[in-house]
Structure 1
Amino acid sequence: MGVLEIKDVTLRFGGVLALDHVSYVVNKGEIFSLIGPNGAGKTSMLNCISGLYHPTEGSVIFNGEKINHLKPHKRAALGFARAFQNIELFPHLSVLDNLMLGRHVRMKTGLLASGFYWGKAQREEVEHRRKVEDVIDFLEIEDIRNIPVGTLSYGLQKRVEMGRALALEPELLLLDEPMAGMNTEEKEDMARYIIDIHEEMKTTIILIEHDMGVVMDLSDHIAVLDFGKLIAYGTPTEVQNNPKVIEAYLGEEKVG
């Protein structure tokens, strides 16, 4: 059994069928990619995994437990973290403060104890700050730690977005198009960080990405969606040679 099992997941919005009985397994410690043409249902699937959406039918199973009923903050407490396609940072806060917010589900000090800073609350904040500094060092953003996020370049903001997710120390990291809008150099840097997260932190990663070169290079397994249906599932080589995948991306050649 994998760390995450998607079992016959169906998602409807009124008369629109966004996901149609999709099933696959994500193994512990792997990089698993979700790909497909625009509108295929990739982000809808990620929303079902993170708890923003609840499947109309089917099950989302994490470490053997069905979690359909859990809200996003409960899934975060289980070890789910997400970096969004559209940057969801607080632009007027510093890089450090944005990353500290990623520790919120790890904070145990109650409201009363927090009112008396000198004591347990202080010790906890020091420990959370140490974890965040580790992430800052890992992503090589030491020189911008105190700069407001809104003043940074797009590529650096995407890196901070990933950093906030990493600050949670996730067991499952969801990356929704982390390289969208980046230039070639920024993409290479992001790919290197994803590889390092996988190899050094042993984090299971689910990746949505349109750059097929990146997907084929990084992924252990790939699931391909098209109009909400799973049309292929396997290794990069198996998926790359699948006729249904070729047709979905290139279209069916018509002779007449």
Structure 2
Amino acid sequence: MSPSATSRQPLTEFLGGRTRAGDERSLLEVSDIVLRFEGVTAIDTVSFEVGPSELFAIIGPNGAGKTSIFNCLSGVYRPESGAITFAGESLIGRRPHAIAKLGIARTFQNIELFANLTVLDNLMLGRHQHIGYGPAAAMFYAGKARREESRHREVVERIIDFLDIENVRKAPVSMLPFGIQKRVELGRALAMAPRLLLLDEPVAGMNLEEREDMARFILDIKEELEIAIVLVEHDMGLVMDIADRVLAMDFGRQIAIGAPESIQQDREVIRAYLGEQHESRGGES
């Protein structure tokens, strides 16, 4: 069981979407982006926006362009045309580390942790972009360096508490169950103090209990920390339960966008994606 909201509250002193009063404009705006690879169109004129503290999901069959969108948002790919802005800043042409510094953190389908390091050390690595001193400063201003390191450690310890992984904080990641490793990866992304989280299939490979735990933590991040989330996920039950809005894609095209209820009833979505699962279950609803 995760800690109570009361015990988690201090984490908001260090993290959170930092939405300001009167600042209700879109946090992320994607306008008509196009991405091609050797003549193959991976993203075909896709547009959407994500508000502060919104949980926005992207769904579609394999090859629909979901991960390509994430790669454009995180600076791995550069769209051929279109615009992407985050908090008023253009992301086009920025490198991944520069985009991370703006306040965007990402998790991946495949876990990308340092297996031989402890949970604590992996999360501390998420604080690297907030470290304001180098080796020389640490040598000549040891007191300041220690105070800053202490503050980073406090942030990480509160994230560990938030994600209910205190009992494994000193364990090497390689020794942990898969579901806990995914939680550690989420914690490392939180350690970057993002305003926007990009979660790429966060429950892939998990059992039912692990999926339910992860869904709860994702909602807590949105509701308690007020961090916006863009979620790519194949688990339709999870998406429809927790997303505020959903973008459905097929062959790189945007085929529908709206509330989960409307997406579930959209004929083109049912044909392109939901229908595949429906038919594979023998017509069960």
Given residue 133 of structure 2, which amino acid in structure 1 is its aligned partner? T
Opposite residue 146 of structure 1, the aligned amino acid is K
Give the secondary structure class of the aligned counterpart of 1:18: strand
Give the 4+ runs in structure 1 shifted more than 3 A. none
Which of 132, 138, 157 in structure 2 is aligned with 1:108? 132
Give the Cα separation in 2 of the matches to 1:149 and 1:157: 7
Indicate which of 129, 147, 153 corresponds to 1:129. 153
What residue in structure 2 maps to residue 231 of structure 1? 255
Tell me which of 219, 226, 237 is aligned to 1:213.
237
Tell me the residue number matched to 1:119. 143
In the TM superposition, residue 151 of structure 1 has moved relative to its aligned partner by: 1.3
Question: Residue 114 of structure 2 aligns with which residue?
Answer: 90
Deviations along 1:68-89, whole A, 9 cap, x unmatched?
A: 0211111111111111110000
The AA in structure 2 aligned to 1:39 is G
Q: Alignment length, in residue pairs?
A: 252
Instruction: Tell me which residue corresponds to 2:271.
Output: 247
Secondary structure of 2:142 counterpart: coil
- Alignment partner for residue 202 of structure 1, among 220, 223, 226? 226
Range moving further from structure 2, 216-225 or 56-65: 56-65
**Equivalent position of 2:56 in the other structure:** 32
CA RMSD, Structure 1 to Structure 2 (Å): 1.2
Greater displacement, 165-174 / 106-115: 106-115
Give 5+ residue unaligned stretches, structure 2: 1-24, 280-285
State the partner residue of 1:55: 79
**What's the offset of the Cα at 1:65?**
2.2
Matched, 1:158 2:186: no
2:45 paired with 1:21: yes
With normalisation by structure 2, the TM-score equals 0.86
1:187 matched to 2:211: yes
Q: 1:76 aligns with which of 96, 100, 106?
A: 100
Q: CA deviation at 1:4?
A: 0.5
Give the letter aligned to residue 56 of structure 1.
Answer: E
1:16 & 1:146 partners in 2: Cα distance? Answer: 47
Give 1:3 deviation, angstroms. 0.5
Percent identity between matched residues is 57
Q: Give the Cα separation in 1 of the matches to 2:140 and 2:165.
A: 32
The letter of the residue matching 1:135 is I
How far is 1:114 from its partner? 2.4
